[in-house]
Structure 1
Amino acid sequence: MTRCFAMCKPGVLNRRLVGQVITRLENKGLKLVGLKLMNISKELASKHYAEHQGKPFYDELVSYITSAPVVAMVWQMDNDDCVTLVRKVVGATKPSEAAPGTIRGDFCSHTSHNIIHASDSDASAEREINLFFKPEEIIDWKDEAECWF
């Protein structure tokens, strides 16, 4: 079993795209095991973006992510590399490099207002899941349709 953290950023809520984002990840066969709508504090944002502190775009990242609610999610795959699959559905970070058919390729036009975050490694996924979710907020449920994916 592998997991990936993903987050719909404020632009997704503002544009009413949450359902489409979730649908695309579900259609890939990923299992949603954690979901919450939340406001992110500057403290949590600084922990989440710790690797970017000191970079020219850091303040803009924190400002954007704390500007409105986000949807935090935990996705799971029982037999595959969840992080890789989520990132393929999400698409490249730069909108100009994101392929049509990916979430970023279809809905994102500005890197600074990227509409979705997805963990870039298993280690990042574990760290990010622990930042945003308590263990009891993740529900691993029996997926009766998993044989089809």
Structure 2
Amino acid sequence: MEQTLVIIKPDGVSRKLVGEILQRFEKKQLKLSQLRVAKMSRELAEEHYAHVKKFDFFEDMMTYMTSSEVVYLVLEGANVIKTVRKMIGATNCLEAEPGTIRGDYGANSYENIIHASDSPEAAMAEIKRFFSESK
């Protein structure tokens, strides 16, 4: 069974959208296998977003992602990565289709409510990063 990591970001938590987002996944018959609420450390945020460190918005993103609690979840299902990516919509909320999570609730390119793994390799690394025993 394929797995993916999803992070409901600080704006999704503060705007009380966690239940709505979880309900969307459940309606698609995706299995929630792990869930954890925690504040992301700067160290984990830098590791997770290392691929955008060269961009001007990196420090703002670090401040945002470590500002308050996030919800980490692992979803399982057939083609779960592709399904979830389609459900969340384009990274830039201004380009996300209405009916997607980002299209309905997102604010900008990084305050975009939600993160989801984009490949099986990323999912495996991200699940390990956020659900290891020591985190």
Shorter-chain TM-score above 0.5:
yes
TM-score of the superposed pair, with normalisation by structure 1? 0.85
The structure that has the greater radius of gyration is: 1
Q: Could you say which residue in structure 1 is the equivalent of 2:3?
A: 3
Give the number of equivalent residue pairs.
133
Q: Could you say which residue in structure 1 is the equivalent of 2:16?
A: 16
For the 8 Å contact 2:4–2:120, the answer to whether it is kept is yes
- Structure 2 gaps, min length 5: none
- Structure 1 gaps, min length 5: 136-149
Q: Does 1:131 align with 2:129?
A: yes
Q: Could you say which residue in structure 2 is the equivalent of 1:96?
A: 94
Q: Does 1:120 align with 2:118?
A: yes
Q: Does 1:27 align with 2:46?
A: no
For the 8 Å contact 1:13–1:70, the answer to whether it is kept is yes
Secondary structure at the aligned position of 2:68 is classed as coil
For the 8 Å contact 2:106–2:113, the answer to whether it is kept is yes
For the 8 Å contact 1:89–1:103, the answer to whether it is kept is yes
Q: Could you say which residue in structure 1 is the equivalent of 2:69?
A: 69
CA distance in 1 between counterparts of 2:55 and 2:74 reads 27
| Residue 112 of structure 1: how far off its partner (Å) | 3.0
For the 8 Å contact 1:5–1:128, the answer to whether it is kept is yes
| Residue 55 of structure 1: how far off its partner (Å) | 1.9
Q: Any idea what the Cα deviations from partners look like across 1:4-24, whole Å, max 9, x if unmatched?
A: 100000001111110000001
RMSD: 1.1
For the 8 Å contact 2:3–2:76, the answer to whether it is kept is yes
